[in-house]
A and B are shown apart, each in its own frame.
Chain A
Amino acid sequence: MKRYFAVLLGILTAIGGFVDIGDLVTNAQVGARFGTSLVGVVALGVVGICVFAEMSGRIAAVSRRATFDLVRERLGPRMGFLNLVGSMLVTLLTFIAEIGGVALALQLVSSLHHLLIVPFVAAAVWLVLWRAKFSSIENVLGLMGLALIGFAVALWQLGPDWGQLVAGVSPAEKPEGEGWATYAYFAVALFGAAMTPYEVFFFSSGGVEERWTSKDIGVMRANVFIGFPLGGLLSVAIAGCAATVFLPAGVAVETLGQVGLPVAVGIGKIGLAVVVLGFFAATFGAACETGLSTGYSLAQYFGFPWGKFVRPKEAAGFHIILLLATVVAAGVLLTGVDPIMVTEISVVFSAIALPLTYFPILVVANDPDYLGEHVNGPVANALGVFYLVVIAVAALAAIPLMAVTSMGQG
């Protein structure tokens, strides 16, 4: 019974922890501009993150190596370092966006300007990273994140024309006013939002921290293959809500308040309160994950002690990095930069940085030296190679599309 409960808890936290600021903002923006015509890309991204996370989770369980150990072992110090710098920058950018997202969520409740809230959020995130237990961070925030189910309820209550929403899923249903370049740009952004690299750094490092063994592979797979797709459905619900409320009115989504507005329309104030709690949990949880990921990547590259499972005194370097990253993130936000814009940039750069970590994981997942009998099977490899191509295309297309469309304005 206890074991089933643990599996259920894992799945629920995977659902609640799946959505972060990038998913919230990008899905709402895309829903408002493109209706449901980009839902296919969300599905593509969700299956992609499942493939990627399952491979790295399996490697973590069998060989106890996390992502950046493998990056350095396979790519060598030089390419590995380039990779480290790129991934760290993207993770830090995401960290900034998440802290900004927490502040924006609290602004919705308190009406205080988010800049006033940022220092407190940063301090709270750092305190949690320093003092809180790994499992409590994951469980409490993951379960609170389930409040975002409010979007699915709101979509149902809004009573859209379901036939039209489903028919709109085809890319041919792209609104006529939007060009194909803009469409492709938002496709890359959505893909990056679903497949953010930090999710895998965190997932595999967490596996090593929780001392998974090959016996835990089944539970890990249940979390990934059930939790992530259900979390992805929340992303789709957010897009569906925006498509129902904003698309007919021709309103663009530019604030976090607007992301939640369809819920207020659909199920009223209580519903709005619930999803704002969901915003808070999702962004705060992701802030913890991205913050930890900066420390994980650096420590794993250089090999010094890391993790929440050793006492902070024994992983002093790791905790200093977490503190510095939090200070930098707060500092950047206090310049007055718009957290929504940081989010938009972070999801696109996520797509660009993805091949750097994906490729070494795919190679190691086939290496019997690391995995013995648990190497990739034919299905994992077929999907693995397919996504290698998709990820490479998205990464190469991202910057030209960003320039051509002026970040989706055109």
Chain B
Amino acid sequence: MGSLAERNGYDVGLHLLDRQVIGADDRLIGKVDDIELVIDDDGALVPTALLMGLPALLPRFGPRLGGALARAHRLVREAAADQDLPLVVDFDLVEDVSSDVRLSEPGHGLLHRMAHDRAADPRRCRVGDLLGIPVRCPDLPRRSKVLDLRMVGSPDGPGEHRVESLIVGPGRPGALFGYDRRSEPGPLAVAAVVHWLHRHARIVELGEGVEIDHEAGEVRIVAGTSLAPLRG
């Protein structure tokens, strides 16, 4: 199994989200329900923590359904101040990412609730908030959305991690099923259908001409910005 350390970058939605998290003691801890990103002063997005638990998972069920489910979960124990705060695992603890996410510490008692001020920090956002938000760009079909975030670095290696580019296009996040980045995908019939459905999907590097508006929940791309095809 190729570890992510052997690659040059990875897609967050495809390779990290929803993976099983396992402690150093081999205990199953939970799933990567969401990932916290810090927005640097220059707009770069840097992953800081894996988020777990229903408060991280439920909002990912979509804007309407997710909101309703999160509110319902809040009501289950209204008296608890931390009912809507997810559990946090620092990104530094991630030791290896293959078909599961291995941590460098044992699972027992590892998870803590996120602090209130951290949850309210406007400089932090979640991958789940970015996936699926609309993309406004004259060169892309109107229904385009953020389909995935591509990172540089590897979560288990040294060096910096940050979101390098966005995969954008019409469709639903996750519906590429990983057919975007392999040269010899099979079965041919399934790959052909997925490629055809995502024939308008493109990769756009973060930087000049690309603005992520976290408040409005949309991405604006200036006309003429370089859009690379998938599997380039």
| A residues lining the B interface (CB < 8 Å) | 62-65, 69, 72-81, 301-306, 314, 362-363, 366-372, 375-376, 381-382, 384-385, 388
- Taking a contact as CB atoms under 8 Å apart, the answer to whether B1 and A370 are in contact is yes
- On whether A368 and B28 interact (CB within 8 A), knowing A72-B18, A78-B65, A362-B190, the answer reads no
Chain B residues near A368 (CB, 8 Å)? 2, 182
Judged by a CB distance under 8 angstroms, whether B62 is at the interface is yes
Query: Please, how many residues of chain B have a CB less than 8 angstroms from a CB on the other chain?
Result: 35
Cα separation A61 to B100 with both chains bound (whole Å): 14
Cα separation A116 to B22 with both chains bound (whole Å): 44
- Taking a contact as CB atoms under 8 Å apart, the answer to whether A81 and B61 are in contact is yes
Binds A, one of B151-159, B172-180, B201-209: B172-180
Chain B residues near A371 (CB, 8 Å)? 1
CB B96 to nearest CB in A, in angstroms, measures 13
Chain A residues near B60 (CB, 8 Å)? 76-78
- On whether A302 and B185 interact (CB within 8 A), knowing A76-B174, A363-B177, the answer reads no
Per a CB cutoff under 8 Å, which of A69, A74, A304, A384 touches B174?
A: A74
**Complex interface residues of chain B between 1 and 57 (CB less than 8 A to chain A):** 1-2, 13, 15, 17-21, 27-31, 33, 52, 57
Judged by a CB distance under 8 angstroms, whether B189 is at the interface is yes
- Taking a contact as CB atoms under 8 Å apart, the answer to whether B27 and A363 are in contact is no
Cα separation A314 to B28 with both chains bound (whole Å): 10
Interface centre among B2, B19, B177 (most CB of A within 10 A): B177
CB B126 to nearest CB in A, in angstroms, measures 13
- On whether A65 and B18 interact (CB within 8 A), knowing A302-B30, A363-B177, A370-B1, the answer reads no
- Taking a contact as CB atoms under 8 Å apart, the answer to whether A78 and B186 are in contact is no
- Taking a contact as CB atoms under 8 Å apart, the answer to whether B18 and A77 are in contact is yes
Judged by a CB distance under 8 angstroms, whether B99 is at the interface is yes
Chain B residues near A69 (CB, 8 Å)? 20
- Taking a contact as CB atoms under 8 Å apart, the answer to whether A62 and B1 are in contact is yes
- Taking a contact as CB atoms under 8 Å apart, the answer to whether A369 and B2 are in contact is yes
Per a CB cutoff under 8 Å, which of B57, B100, B178 touches A65?
A: B100
Chain A residue at minimum C-beta to C-beta distance from B189: A385
Per a CB cutoff under 8 Å, which of B18, B174, B178 touches A367?
A: B178
- Taking a contact as CB atoms under 8 Å apart, the answer to whether A78 and B61 are in contact is yes
Chain B residues near A303 (CB, 8 Å)? 20-21, 28-31, 52
- Taking a contact as CB atoms under 8 Å apart, the answer to whether A63 and B1 are in contact is yes
- Taking a contact as CB atoms under 8 Å apart, the answer to whether B2 and A363 are in contact is no
Judged by a CB distance under 8 angstroms, whether B232 is at the interface is no
- Taking a contact as CB atoms under 8 Å apart, the answer to whether B1 and A73 are in contact is no
Chain B residue at minimum C-beta to C-beta distance from A71: B18
Interface centre among B15, B20, B60 (most CB of A within 10 A): B20
Chain A residues near B173 (CB, 8 Å)? 76
Chain B residue at minimum C-beta to C-beta distance from A374: B1
Cα separation A370 to B1 with both chains bound (whole Å): 6
Interface centre among A74, A79, A363 (most CB of B within 10 A): A363
Judged by a CB distance under 8 angstroms, whether B187 is at the interface is yes
Per a CB cutoff under 8 Å, which of B19, B57, B62, B190 touches A73?
A: B19
**CB-defined A-B contacts under 8 Å, sample of 27:** A64-B100, A65-B20, A65-B99, A72-B31, A77-B18, A77-B33, A303-B21, A303-B28, A303-B52, A304-B30, A305-B27, A306-B28, A314-B27, A362-B187, A362-B190, A363-B178, A366-B186, A366-B187, A367-B182, A368-B182, A369-B15, A370-B1, A375-B186, A381-B187, A381-B188, A382-B187, A384-B187
- On whether A78 and B1 interact (CB within 8 A), knowing A64-B100, A363-B178, the answer reads no
CB A324 to nearest CB in B, in angstroms, measures 18
Chain B residues near A75 (CB, 8 Å)? 174
Q: 8 extra interchain contacts, Cβ-Cβ under 8 A, other than A65-B99, A303-B29?
A: A76-B173, A77-B61, A79-B174, A303-B30, A362-B190, A363-B178, A381-B187, A385-B187
- Taking a contact as CB atoms under 8 Å apart, the answer to whether B18 and A78 are in contact is no
Cα separation A369 to B178 with both chains bound (whole Å): 10
CB A316 to nearest CB in B, in angstroms, measures 12
Cα separation A314 to B106 with both chains bound (whole Å): 14
Chain A residues near B1 (CB, 8 Å)? 62-63, 369-372
Chain A residues near B30 (CB, 8 Å)? 302-304
CB A385 to nearest CB in B, in angstroms, measures 5
Cα separation A385 to B187 with both chains bound (whole Å): 7
- Taking a contact as CB atoms under 8 Å apart, the answer to whether A74 and B177 are in contact is yes
Chain A residue at minimum C-beta to C-beta distance from B19: A73
- Taking a contact as CB atoms under 8 Å apart, the answer to whether B18 and A73 are in contact is yes
CB B86 to nearest CB in A, in angstroms, measures 13
